[in-house]
Amino acid sequence: GMYHSLLGAERLVPGLLDDQVMTARALLDAYEVTGDPPHLPRAPQIMIWMTNEKHQCIYGNQALFDYFGFSLDMIEGLNWLDTIHPDDRDRIRRNQEFAAGNYQNFRQEYRAKGKNRKDYIWVLDLSVPRFDAEGNFLGYIGSVTDITQQKNQEEELKSVQKRLEREVLQIS
C-alpha cells in the first residue's frame, strides 16, 4: 500500500545523499501515519537509524544491523560512540552535543567498525531532526553510507599530487 507507492518510483543510488534523506523522510511519514516500522528496500549500502527526543536509538534497518552486528533489542542500550574510531570519537561527541541542542540537519564523516569486523570503514552520517505537528522535537532520523572507496581514492590522489610536486621541484 503506502510503502509501495513511496518506494516504487525511487531507486536508492549511492552518492545521491539528498535522495537518501528524502527517502528517510518519506519512510518516516509513512511510519507516523501507519505506526508500522518502515520497510526499506534492500539497499545494503544505506543504513538507516532513528532516535527519540532523548537521543536514544529506537530504530535501525536491516543493513545497519547486518553491518554493525547488533539487533533491535540490543540497540536501546547501545552507545554509538563505541563503534567509532578512537581518533574520531571526541569530534563526533562534540558534534552530537551541538546538534542535540540545535535541532539542525548535520552531516559528518568518521570511521566506524561493526562487531566482529577487523577493519574500520569510512562512513557519511546524515542526520535530520523530526518534529511533531506542534513543532516539538521527536528525535533524529539519519542515514549512514559507506564511503570508504571514495576516501581511499582521495588519499591516492593526494599522494600522486605530492609525488608530482616533488618531481616538479626537482626539475626546476
Q: Which of 23-27, 41-45, 72-76, 101-105 has the lowest mean pLDDT?
A: 41-45
Is the pLDDT reported for residue 7 higher than 70? Answer: no
What letter represents residue 155's amino acid? E
Mean pLDDT score of the chain: 75
Mention every residue, 6+ apart, whose C-beta is less than 8 A from residue 50: 28, 57, 58, 59, 60, 130, 139, 140, 141, 142
Confidence of residue 110 (pLDDT cuts 50, 70, 90): very high
Segment 80-95, tens digit of pLDDT: 788 899 999 999 888 8
Single out the residue of 42, 85, 76, 78 nearest to residue 61, CA to CA: 42
Confidence of residue 19 (pLDDT cuts 50, 70, 90): low
Is 0.85 surpassed by the pTM of this model?
Answer: no
Is the pLDDT reported for residue 31 higher than 70? Answer: no
